[in-house]
Amino acid sequence: MLKKDEPSSSQTQPSSSQIHFDICGIPDVELNSSLQSKGTEQQLECSKNGPRVQQLTSGMVLLKKFINLKNQVEIIKQCRELGLGSGGFYQPGYKNGAKLNLQMMCLGRNWDPETKRYGHIRSIDDATPPSIPVEFKHLVQKAIQTSRAFIKRTSNSIEDTFPKMSLKETSNPTKDELPKMSPDICIVNFYTTSGKLGLHQDKDESYESISKGLPVVSFSLGDSAVFLYGDKKEDNAKKVILESGDVLIFGGESRLIHHGVGNILHGTAPKLLVDETNLHPGRLNLTFRQY
Ligand code: MD6
Ligand code: FE
C-alpha cells in the first residue's frame, strides 16, 4: 500500500512502491530509478533520525550521518569540479619517493606531504589551491556547534549527578574540551578501494592552532572505511567505521591523537549517492583545519 501523505505536487508514480514506504529513510533498498523521480529528491533531503552523536574520547566526537544525502551529492560534485581544475587531484609522494596510496587536493592553502609544510602554491605545478566553498565552511561550523552542544549537555548531566566533582569546570567546560575553529585549509583525499593511510599525527599547523587544540574536522563520503586511532601501532589502535555522511572531530586533548585509515569497505557507499554522482568505488575524505 502506498502512503497518501505525500506532497500533492506528486509526479508519476515510480514503478516500485518501495520508494514510498521508505521515502525519508537512509536508502538501504535497491531503487529502480534515481535521477528523474521526485521521490529521490525527497530521499536526498531527509534522514530517518537526527544525527547520532558519539564521544570517542575527550575532544573526539563522531557525528553519525550528519551530512544528508543531498549535501553529500553536492560536496562530491563540487570536489569533482575542483579536482579537475587547476590545483586539482594528484597522487602525492613522500620524501623517500614512495607514493601515497590516494589522490589529494588542497583547498585554501597547500599542504605538501613531502616537506610537511603549508604554503600558498604547490611545488609540483605552481598551482594555487582553490578556495574552500562557503557551503563546506557552514557545515563545519554546524558540526562543531553540534558537538559542543553535545559535550555541554552530557557534562551538565554529570554535574547534576556529581556536583562537587566538577566544581572547577563550572566556568565553561565546552571551551576547554572542544574549541571553536574557523577552517582555512581543507585537504581532500580520494582513496580507491585499495587506499590506506598509515597512523600519524596532524601536527603541521601553527603552534597556536595546535596548542589551543583547535579541532580537525573530517567528512567521510562514499565507501565506508575502518578508521584507526589512539595508538601509533596498528595492532593497539582502536577502530571505528566511518560511513558516508559521518563527521569526525578531534580537538582539545585529542588534537594530536594518532590516527589513520585502514581498509576501505568496497560496495558500502549508499547506492543513491553513487547513482547521482557516479562516484568511483572508494572513499572521499575532507579534513578541515585552521592554520
Ligand atoms: C581520513 N585523513 O582520511 C583521515 N591527515 O579519514 C587524515 O588523517 C589526514 O587526510 C593529514 C592530512 C590529510 C589527511
Ligand atoms: Fe590526519
Integer Cα distance of 173 and 155 in angstroms: 7
Q: Single out the residue of 30, 28, 25, 181 nearest to residue 14, CA to CA.
A: 30
Q: Is the pLDDT of residue 46 over 80?
A: no
The answer to whether position 148 is within a domain reads: yes
What's the gap in Å between 23 CA and the centre of ligand 1?
34
Query: Which pLDDT score is estimated for 24?
Result: 25
The answer to whether position 10 is within a domain reads: no
Give per-residue pLDDT as tens, 15-35: 333 332 221 233 333 333 333
The answer to whether position 8 is within a domain reads: no
Q: Which three cell numbers stand for residue 290?
A: 585552521
Who wins on pLDDT, 24 or 147? 147
Query: Which pLDDT score is estimated for 193?
Result: 86
The answer to whether position 188 is within a domain reads: yes
The answer to whether position 244 is within a domain reads: yes
The answer to whether position 89 is within a domain reads: yes
Query: Which pLDDT score is estimated for 19?
Result: 31
Query: Which pLDDT score is estimated for 202?
Result: 97
The answer to whether position 74 is within a domain reads: yes
Give per-residue pLDDT as tens, 68-118: 999 999 999 999 999 989 999 998 888 888 888 889 999 999 999 989 999
102 alpha carbon, closest ligand: 1
Quote the pTM value.
Answer: 0.81
> Please, which residues have CB within 8 angstroms of residue 224's CB and are 6 or more apart in sequence?
241, 242, 243, 244, 264, 265, 268, 269, 283
Pair type for strands 52-57 and 60-64: antiparallel
Q: How many domains is the chain built from?
A: 1
Give per-residue pLDDT as tens, 156-201: 665 566 665 555 544 555 457 999 999 999 999 999 888 889 999 9
Residue 273 maps to which CATH number?
2.60.120.590
- Structural domain including 88 reads 51-289
The answer to whether position 45 is within a domain reads: no
Q: Is the CB of 107 under 6 A from ligand 1?
A: no
Residue of the CA atom closest to atom 13 of ligand 1: 187
Query: Which residues of the chain form beta strands (DSSP E)?
Result: 52-57, 60-64, 103-107, 110-112, 117-119, 185-191, 197-200, 216-222, 224-229, 238-242, 247-250, 259-265, 283-289
Who wins on pLDDT, 158 or 274? 274
Q: Single out the residue of 209, 205, 244, 206 nearest to residue 224, CA to CA.
A: 244
Give per-residue pLDDT as tens, 195-250: 889 999 999 999 999 999 999 999 999 999 999 999 999 999 999 999 999 999 99
Residue of the CA atom closest to atom 3 of ligand 1: 285
**pLDDT grade for 42, boundaries at 50, 70 and 90:** low
What's the gap in Å between 49 CA and the centre of ligand 2?
29
**pLDDT grade for 43, boundaries at 50, 70 and 90:** low
